[in-house]
Structure 1
Amino acid sequence: MTTTLSGTENRADRRGSEYTFDATEEGASDEQIDESAAREATICVVGLGYVGLPLAVGFAQSNYRVVGYDVDETTVEQLQAGVDTTGDLSDDAIQDGDISYTTDAAQIGDADYVIIAVPTPIDDDDQPDLRYVESAATTVGSKMKPGTTVVLESTVYPGTTREVLAPALEEASDLTAGEGFFVGYSPERATPGDEAHGLADVVKVVGAQNEKVLDDVAALYESVVDAGVHRAPSIEVAEACKVVENTQRDLNIAFVNELSMALERMDVDADAVLEAAGTKWNFHDYRPGLVGGHCIPVDPYFLAHRSAREGFEPELVRTSRKVNESMPDHVAELTIKALNQCHKTLCESRVLVLGLSYKPGVGDIRSSKVANVVERLEEYDIDVTGFDPFADPEAVRDAFGIDVQEAVSFDGFDAVVVTTGHDEFERLDLENVASALESDPALVDTTGTFDETVAQDAGFVYRRI
């Protein structure tokens, strides 16, 4: 079923009885009137993860009344207790403003705007898994009041808002999209661990079912996003832009990953090649490495799924995914070659993996490709221990199935594999590290953290991507 979204009312037209659009001063501008009216709105954010929680806090800090809803009781209890569950905000920030956290779906009915920010993973066959979107839509639809505007922020393939979200809302609410409620789409652009690119600092892309709803939703986001709002000409354009952003990055990283493997076989330093090529003004600087996280390894599959549905197979997109998914095998191979060069017996070797999260500066181990590196090494009966200054040791033990150090110690290991480029590792003294390791140690530096000459002078057999 494809829902036609054709409502014509703007927020003032459809909710005139619910809002008082009075200007407090004679001669107030339209912008001042809109601003005053917007602050009277109640916003519900559904899904309080690394996307939804900063949204909820951002609106609360901008003087909106906010309801933060999540089905996870533990998450909500921690938030109610004043604990920042993402680590990207602060305990003070999550209580800053008129914000309440709840598992009570009935409170969704208080909202004028509902923003859905739930996970959209891929399944074991690399197909989009939209069950969280569908479940959220059913819950929201069953509780929302007539006139509510629902904005989806989860990453989806083009067409999902019309084909999946709106029909689910209609079925649960017994209302008609475009008449009884209104929908829009605004792709999340969250970057965990990056303080310079928070909610207020990154341009917000917005798409909606018609121009008046678009203006309404854009004005809402403009009140909290200092960088401004880009009005997409359709919902589908807004949906597609998110998956294209990360697919582009995946393609470029795949190129340098494949390049590094090719140059290694030519005995040419890939890092030096990229440095030399980077002296040209129009060369794009990407570096090889593991590609983990919630966006880059996932979003290309959403684009490929929708494209294949229309009869076009995006071969370059799929090939890039295969290249990047092969990198854990390549890192494991580099480690095995380094151990062999050090004359180590693999089944008797101990390896310390530095960095277990999916990116520098964060402790999130979900979607971390380091787990795949560990798995490959263990296939050769190599004893693997991990350390990460940000990741929770107990969570790593459960997820990776390895010993995890609470504080880093190099004693007794045959090799160190740096898999996440945390700044803390740059401060390591390689001579001291080498002296603590077993004789003839190996250093596999997948992040390019250390200088090869310095590592070799310290006594390491050095390898890098």
Structure 2
Amino acid sequence: MMMDQNQSLPNVAVIGLGKIGLTLAAVFANNGYNVFGADINSDVVSSVNKGISHVKNEPGLDQLVSDAHKSKTLSAASSTTEAVAQSDITVVIVPVLVDKENNVDYQFIDAAVEDIAKGVKQGSLIIFETTLPPGDTRNRFGRKIAEISGLRMGEDFYLAYSPERVYSNRIISDLQHYPKVVGGLNTKSLELASNFYKKSLNCELIEVSSLETAEFSKVAECVYRDVNIALANELAQFAEEKGVHMSEVIGASNSQPYSHLHSPGIGVGGHCIPIYPYFFINKGLEQGLTPLSRKINDSMAGYAISKMEKEIDSLKDKNILILGLSYRENVKEPTKSTTLLLIEQLRRKNANLFVNDPMFTDKEIEKYGAIPLSLQDPLVSEMDGVILQAFHQEYSHLDFKKFTNCKLVLDGRNQLNKNEIIESGIKYEGIGG
């Protein structure tokens, strides 16, 4: 059930209350809107209706959710149709990922769109914020809503696309400081969406000429990063062949304003960079830098294992500890983490596989087929090798003297103290020399 709302404010539905959806809902609810949130997870709905954020480590979000709850401008329910029926504007932020074959997986958003279509009313504005392959807002979702509702797209209801461009752990700040790219189905759609974001986010807007331009711009951002990381990884491997330190090269090269070499690493993970390039690849961009970059970045886990084998020889029955299940530092997020690729390859090598990650419980780590290991456990003295995958702040002062049997520390993020590790009698290897 939706709770009583402030009846004097305009109503907005936010469909999907994950990290970004809940943050958007809370910001809207503190900026002059009644927000009806919808999510298929009943625990999320219950939490929001108590004024409690289920999303942790997001600065400012706890307070925004609490404030909106007190002012009765934010509530949640499991019924998307009900939330949409009570609102003039609907913002959709339901995940779209890829499956094991890297085909786009629409199951959650398709179901949400059907429910939206059952609740949409005359004059409504529907904005998609989920990252999508170009063309989907109009051709897949707009048409489906029109077909089910019987309303005419662009006349009876309006359609816009505005990609989220935020980063975990700083979403509220990014919403204020990053320009909001907005594209509309027609002039009226763009006008309605722009007016909404001006009021609800009070940020700079970049109005683009079409839905497809806005969709393309978000995927292009991710492809740019993937390609440049792949270049850094390729150059890092070549630098190692030539006995050159890539970190020194980056510092020297980037002193010239037209060079922006990225940092090499053990791989790329998360909801964005390893996923969204396939939104272009699967639409026909099958040759060139975009698919090649995916292959290079996903190959870095294998490259790391080969570096380890050179020092330890056979990994069969060796105790290998991976530091970090998360795809990156200081977040709890395993999606497309390089650790999953490392686990897969180390299993094939018949290594004894251990994982430490302070963000996850032992049970959560065990689900991924690894043995959880506390850094306080005496068993650390029996590790033959250590791989740093995510440089959580807890790893910045690791005492490697405890790793008495360790032959190699492979620093997949080039962040550990090389001298301390060497002084502990352990071989140190980074990515790029």
Task: Give the whole-Å Cα distance in 2 for the aligned partners of 1:266 and 1:153.
Answer: 45
Calculate the TM-score normalised by the size of structure 2: 0.90
CA contact (8 A) 2:44 2:54 kept: yes
Q: 1:41 to 1:294 in 2, by over 3 A?
A: same
Matched, 1:136 2:105: no
1:102 corresponds to which residue?
77
Offset at residue 120 of structure 1 (A): 0.8
Task: Give the whole-Å Cα distance in 1 for the aligned partners of 2:385 and 2:375.
Answer: 17
Offset at residue 407 of structure 1 (A): 5.3
CA contact (8 A) 1:69 1:103 kept: yes
SS state of the match for residue 151, structure 1?
A: strand
1:200-236 C-alpha deviation (Å, 9 max, x unpaired): 2221111112223212211111123343111111111
Offset at residue 356 of structure 1 (A): 1.2
Structural mapping, 1:350-369, within 5 Å = 350-369=319-338
CA contact (8 A) 1:200 1:224 kept: no
Unaligned runs of 5+ in 2: 1-7
2:364 corresponds to which residue?
395
1:421 corresponds to which residue?
391
Residue of structure 2 aligned with 1:448, choices 408, 414, 418 = 414
1:183 corresponds to which residue?
159
Offset at residue 411 of structure 1 (A): 2.9
Task: Give the whole-Å Cα distance in 2 for the aligned partners of 1:261 and 1:295.
Answer: 24
Q: Which amino acid aligns with 2:296?
A: V
Task: Give the whole-Å Cα distance in 2 for the aligned partners of 1:78 and 1:321.
Answer: 38
Task: Give the whole-Å Cα distance in 2 for the aligned partners of 1:408 and 1:42.
Answer: 51
Offset at residue 302 of structure 1 (A): 0.6
1:270 corresponds to which residue?
246
Task: Give the whole-Å Cα distance in 1 for the aligned partners of 2:172 and 2:141.
Answer: 32
Task: Give the whole-Å Cα distance in 1 for the aligned partners of 2:372 and 2:50.
Answer: 29
CA contact (8 A) 1:79 1:85 kept: yes
Task: Give the whole-Å Cα distance in 2 for the aligned partners of 1:395 and 1:453.
Answer: 33
Q: Which amino acid aligns with 1:422?
A: H
Offset at residue 190 of structure 1 (A): 2.2
CA contact (8 A) 1:444 1:464 kept: yes
2:288 corresponds to which residue?
315
Q: Which amino acid aligns with 2:409?
A: L
Offset at residue 406 of structure 1 (A): 4.9
SS state of the match for residue 95, structure 1?
A: helix
Q: Which amino acid aligns with 2:278?
A: Y
Matched, 1:62 2:38: no
Task: Give the whole-Å Cα distance in 2 for the aligned partners of 1:261 and 1:305.
Answer: 29
CA radius of gyration, larger in: 1
Task: Give the whole-Å Cα distance in 2 for the aligned partners of 1:324 and 1:262.
Answer: 15
1:383-418 C-alpha deviation (Å, 9 max, x unpaired): 1211112234322221x1111135554332122211
Work out the number of aligned pairs and report it: 415
Task: Give the whole-Å Cα distance in 2 for the aligned partners of 1:391 and 1:84.
Answer: 18
1:20 corresponds to which residue?
none
Task: Give the whole-Å Cα distance in 1 for the aligned partners of 2:177 and 2:357.
Answer: 29
Unaligned runs of 5+ in 1: 1-38
Question: What RMSD in Å do the two structures reach over aligned CA positions?
Answer: 2.0
Offset at residue 79 of structure 1 (A): 2.8
Structural mapping, 1:44-443, within 5 Å = 44-87=13-56, 88=58, 90-97=61-68, 98-105=73-80, 106-194=82-170, 197-289=173-265, 290-306=267-283, 308=284, 313-340=286-313, 346-398=315-367, 400-406=368-374, 408-409=376-377, 410-428=380-398, 432-433=399-400, 435-439=401-405, 441-443=407-409
Q: 1:414 to 1:186 in 2, by over 3 A?
A: same
Task: Give the whole-Å Cα distance in 1 for the aligned partners of 2:101 and 2:334.
Answer: 22
1:105-135 C-alpha deviation (Å, 9 max, x unpaired): 3232001001111111112332222233322
Offset at residue 447 of structure 1 (A): 0.6
SS state of the match for residue 372, structure 1?
A: helix
Offset at residue 305 of structure 1 (A): 2.2
Q: Which amino acid aligns with 1:447?
A: R
Task: Give the whole-Å Cα distance in 2 for the aligned partners of 1:175 and 1:281.
Answer: 52
Q: Which amino acid aligns with 1:377?
A: L
Offset at residue 249 of structure 1 (A): 0.3
Q: Which amino acid aligns with 1:316?
A: L
SS state of the match for residue 267, structure 1?
A: coil
Task: Give the whole-Å Cα distance in 2 for the aligned partners of 1:318 and 1:138.
Answer: 32
Q: Using the aligned pairs only, state the percent identity.
A: 28
CA contact (8 A) 2:125 2:158 kept: yes
Task: Give the whole-Å Cα distance in 2 for the aligned partners of 1:305 and 1:380.
Answer: 32
SS state of the match for residue 176, structure 2?
A: helix
2:430 corresponds to which residue?
464
Task: Give the whole-Å Cα distance in 1 for the aligned partners of 2:9 and 2:218.
Answer: 30
Calculate the TM-score normalised by the size of structure 1: 0.84
Q: Which amino acid aligns with 2:427?
A: V
Task: Give the whole-Å Cα distance in 2 for the aligned partners of 1:406 and 1:117.
Answer: 36
Q: Which amino acid aligns with 2:302?
A: D
Q: 1:272 to 1:196 in 2, by over 3 A?
A: farther
CA contact (8 A) 2:176 2:203 kept: yes
SS state of the match for residue 325, structure 2?
A: coil
1:50-84 C-alpha deviation (Å, 9 max, x unpaired): 22111111101112100110112232233334442
Task: Give the whole-Å Cα distance in 1 for the aligned partners of 2:178 and 2:9.
Answer: 25
